[in-house]
Chains A and B, each alone.
Chain A
């Protein structure tokens, strides 16, 4: 009996290894592509509804006691109306953002391609976008918002989808400038992703002045253009024995609220 069980374990391990080898050998992208196409509409729909529910719950908790019931009623009515005009509104918003990005200076500086955020993988600090290899996307292309805020770079490209490694991804680092509006000066540093919504500014020389609310923007590299907004300095850590300063940075973007984005094809 025990021998039979042992051999069944070996068979399962062999099947698993065989499956892994075959899938990786043949690429397996078509399976991922098919699974994403199947799950993504459901995922996207549920995520949107959950966001509406979360907003309703937050407003319910934070509203003052006298106004609570009124606000709740209005919020419910509002969300019902929002459901009805959801499609039209999203098209309108998209139009406005497209016009804003394509008509203004952002399009004169860079060659952009509009994409949509269709899923978030918070644990990995990644998002999923609706364009892939067939649309001309390549690895390491920068993704930005219509307001010139950096989101990240494309990392895994499938025929019709791609994943984007965001600025929050652990282990990611970006060369940046910290702008001080008061003195109109800039300081070099490096931003490191620390998991979702946490960014750390590092390698700022100890003698340089660093203040709260200073704006952090990208330095130009071969992958991304300069002056893409990352966030603002939130807290500065003073370390006596270190030769560099560190600071925490409040990001401008919220992965759950990203919708229309742009791939920077060239700049």
Chain B
């Protein structure tokens, strides 16, 4: 494996971040934008032979830099999602099956927001103050899940087995 193929996934995540910050800030649906780095991480788990912990760390790091105060929320969230899903996918799910991939994207978006809230507010606070998860937040997450599915569909046909090995 040469140097370029090793760093390729990190460059993809950088490209996805730039697209998210520019293109999708204009082409949003009622303020909802997709989370491309999340789709990329789940895509890697599904389509690569060896899901890379470095990619989870790097993508979380980028999310922390551009979206959250301090460092930690993005890194921890993506590492937890990365490990949970790579175990789940390898054990129970059929890899590179479109419907499973899209369903996973839908669920992972919910898991992502749950973890972000859990890490930023603290899980006990979140569970005892479940009212912070109000209807607009729920509608936002549903909207983002659907948008992520749209992006995942493109990712599936573009990247499935071709580039992510």
B21 at interface, CB cutoff 8 A = yes
Does the CB pair B57–A15 fall under 8 Å?
A: yes
With A46-B22, A47-B25, A54-B26 as given contacts, are A156 and B69 in contact (CB-CB < 8 Å)?
A: yes
Which residues from chain A contact B62 at a C-beta distance below 8 Å?
A: 35
* Inter-chain contacts of A195 with B (CB < 8 A): 31, 136, 140
Q: Does B18 contact A (CB under 8 A)?
A: yes
Interface size class of B (residues with CB under 8 A): 35 or more
A interface residues, tally (CB under 8 Å): 41
CB distance from B76 to the nearest CB of A (A): 7
In B14-54, which residues have CB < 8 Å from any A CB?
A: 17-19, 21-28, 30-33, 35, 53
One of B67, B75, B136 near A19 (C-beta < 8 A): B75
The tally of CB-CB contacts under 8 A between chains A and B is 104
Residue of B nearest to A11 (CB): B53
Measured CA separation A115–B28 after assembly (Å)? 25
B66 sits at the interface (CB 8 A) = yes
Given known contacts A39-B18, A50-B22, A121-B66, A16 and B76 CB-to-CB distance under 8 angstroms: yes
Chain B residues lying within 8 Å of A197, measured Cβ to Cβ, are 30-31
For window 63-101 of B, CB contacts with A under 8 Å fall at: 65-67, 69-72, 75-76, 79, 83
Q: Which residues of B contact A (CB under 8 A)?
A: 17-19, 21-28, 30-33, 35, 53, 56-57, 60-62, 65-67, 69-72, 75-76, 79, 83, 136-137, 140, 144
**B-binding residues in A (CB < 8 A):** 8-9, 12-13, 15-16, 19-20, 23-24, 28, 31-32, 35-36, 39, 42-47, 50-51, 54, 119-125, 156, 168, 170, 194-198, 256
